[in-house]
């Protein structure tokens, strides 16, 4: 027999929580001193406490936990339920981290609204041809266009390497659809001489452009785009 404080410490719960479980009949002490009212627990009750806490963490109400404890939940069943819950939590963590990245990126844009120091230059760009592939993103968000660009470059690189072509200058060309939210994207590499089997040639005409250099991760490239827009 051990006292309530020691049992709480071993079980990773508070003594207040143990008293509550006792009050609602979920887990009663093995012995209560009739004179002092002190509660004592048997170490053999720890597996019951472990299951109680685990089932509560799985989202069951205390009433449902009581029914499950009466029916009996063996170790294999408990492990299966906990593994499923762990997988759900891991998916939620990945989702929350993705949301956090987007919020952080947007916060960075707002913080830099009055501190834009990108060097914008205008120049005449010569016409050039790229060998690449084209696909359509459902909208202009970084999440949508980024996924398409990544997929396109993966395919283009395979063709370029197979042909032994030079991959010095990558180009991603975006053309918004005037009638829908879609964006048509061509990704490839400049090809001064000849063509690359499996890739389509796309000629970009000579034109005047505004340009800047972005130094940093892709997560912060929106600051460069907004500087150009300004």
User: Residue 194 carries which DSSP code?
Assistant: S
- Are 26 and 52 spatial neighbours (Cβ–Cβ below 8 Å)? yes
**Would you place residue 3 in the very low, low, confident or very high pLDDT band (cuts 50, 70, 90)?**
very high
What's the pLDDT tens digit per position in 133-173?
A: 999 999 988 788 889 999 999 999 999 999 888 888 899 99
- The enclosing H or E element of 129 equals strand 128-137
Token pair, residue 159, equals 């063709």
- Across the range 21-47, mean pLDDT stands at 90
At 229 the three-state DSSP class reads helix
Alpha helices in 42-171 (DSSP H): 46-57, 62-71, 75-111, 142-163
Residues 6+ apart with CB under 8 A from 212: 118, 119, 120, 121, 224, 227, 228
Round the average pLDDT of the chain to a whole number and report it: 86
Among 67-76, 80-89, 160-169, where is mean pLDDT lowest?
A: 67-76
Nearest-angstrom CA–CA distance, 81 and 58:
8
What pLDDT is attached to residue 63? 83
Nearest-angstrom CA–CA distance, 58 and 45:
20
Among 52-56, 59-63, 81-85, where is mean pLDDT lowest?
A: 81-85
Strands 39-41 and 2-3: antiparallel
User: Residue 34 carries which DSSP code?
Assistant: T
**Would you place residue 226 in the very low, low, confident or very high pLDDT band (cuts 50, 70, 90)?**
confident
User: Residue 198 carries which DSSP code?
Assistant: T
Would residue 194 be called left, alpha or beta, if left means φ above 0 and alpha means ψ between -120 and 50 degrees? left
Distances (CA, A) of 168 to 160, 189, 204, 214, 226: 11, 7, 17, 18, 27
Among 25-29, 56-60, 126-130, 208-212, where is mean pLDDT lowest?
A: 56-60
Token pair, residue 170, equals 């990558």
Would residue 154 be called left, alpha or beta, if left means φ above 0 and alpha means ψ between -120 and 50 degrees? alpha
Phi and psi for 214 in degrees, rounded to 5? -100, 125
Domains of the chain: 2-73 (1.10.1660.10), 127-205 (no CATH)
pLDDT higher than threshold 60 for residue 115: no
- Give the predicted TM-score (pTM) of the model: 0.48
What pLDDT is attached to residue 207? 92
Nearest-angstrom CA–CA distance, 202 and 130:
5
Instruction: Output the CA angle 103-106-110, nearest 5 degrees.
Output: 135
């Amino acid at each position: 027999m051990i006292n309530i404080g020691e049992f709480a410490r071993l079980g990773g719960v508070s003594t207040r929580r143990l008293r509550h479980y006792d009050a609602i009949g979920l887990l009663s002490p093995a012995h209560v001193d009739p004179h002092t009212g002190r509660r004592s627990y048997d170490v053999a009750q720890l597996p019951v406490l472990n299951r109680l806490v685990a089932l509560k963490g799985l989202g069951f109400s205390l009433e449902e936990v009581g029914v499950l404890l009466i029916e009996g939940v063996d170790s294999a069943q408990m492990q299966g339920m906990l593994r499923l819950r762990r997988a759900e939590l891991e998916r939620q963590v990945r989702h929350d981290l993705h949301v956090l990245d987007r919020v952080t990126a947007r916060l960075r844009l707002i913080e830099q609204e009055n501190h834009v120091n990108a060097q914008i230059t205008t120049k005449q760009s010569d016409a050039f041809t790229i060998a690449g592939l084209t696909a359509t993103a459902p909208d202009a968000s970084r999440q949508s266009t980024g996924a398409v660009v990544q997929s396109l470059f993966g395919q283009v690189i395979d063709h370029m390497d197979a042909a032994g072509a030079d991959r010095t200058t990558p180009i991603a060309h975006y053309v918004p659809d005037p009638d829908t939210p879609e964006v048509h994207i061509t990704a490839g590499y400049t090809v001064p001489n000849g063509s690359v089997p499996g890739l389509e040639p796309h000629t970009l005409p000579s034109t005047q452009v505004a340009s800047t250099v972005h130094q940093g991760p892709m997560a912060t490239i929106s600051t460069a785009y907004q500087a150009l827009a300004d």
